[in-house]
A = this chain, B = another copy of it.
């Protein structure tokens, strides 16, 4: 039996037009597609209609490892296994971890980059990324880092804290459910009531005050 390489593929944000040609090519050959709660299922239906879909949900830790272990077995049996990740799998997405695990078990693996939700958000709302840009993901938040732009991933739970810790000259652009039909964007400064209702997934982009200019 030929061992098949595993692919960890970035699907981009929700919008299926932001997927790459390489991702589509790999999905078309997939026998099994593992996907998490943030992936747009339309993408799997369109490009891997005959593949077995395995939903991983909001899986973490040991449960995640079980899926990976199962995937390694399937690749060893000669099946084309794809992990489909929202956005770019290299940005806080565990994609690289999966490939390292596969390779250390003798199974080839490749991470296929995708369009990150954070650049899709700043593109859509024309938010200049100037000077030094910091990316952080909950729970690894460092409030002391000084930068022109700070992007916080997976921060829905700590919106309240993020807003109250804004400096006087900063504002936070919160982009919720980017490219979904119910996308919402709001700009808040320190003075605002932080008890707002933000649906996940959301990005928080903190930058010097100045407002955003819509591109649409």
Per the bound structure, the CA–CA distance linking A10 and B116 in Å amounts to 12
A128 contacts the other chain (CB 8 A):
yes
Interface residues in chain A, defined as those with a beta carbon under 8 Å from any beta carbon in chain B = 10, 12, 15-22, 24-25, 88-92, 95-97, 99-100, 103, 109-116, 119-120, 122-124, 126-136, 140, 142, 145-147, 213, 215-216
Shortest C-beta distance, A28 to chain B (Å), equals 13
Residues in B neighbouring A18, C-beta threshold 8 A: 20-22, 113
Q: Which B residues are in CB contact (< 8 Å) with A147?
A: 134, 145
Distance of A18 Cα from B20 Cα, bound (Å): 5
The residue that A123 contacts in the complex, of B15, B95, B100, B135, with Cβ under 8 A, is B95
Copies in the complex: 2
Q: Which residues of B contact A15 (CB under 8 A)?
A: 22
Q: Which of the residues B20, B96, B134 comes within 8 Å of A133, measured between beta carbons?
A: B134
Residues of chain B lying within 8 A (CB to CB) of residue A127: 90, 96
Q: Are A123 and B140 in contact (CB under 8 A)?
A: no
- Most chain B C-beta atoms within 10 Å of own C-beta, residue among A16, A89, A111, A140: A111
Contact present for B116 and A88 (CB under 8 Å): yes
B109–A120 touching, CB < 8 Å? no
Contacts of A128 in B (CB 8 A): 96-97, 100
On chain B, the residues within 8 Å of A22 by CB distance are 15, 17-18
CA distance A134 to B132 in the complex (A): 7
**Residue numbers in B under 8 Å from A114 (CB-CB):** 115, 119
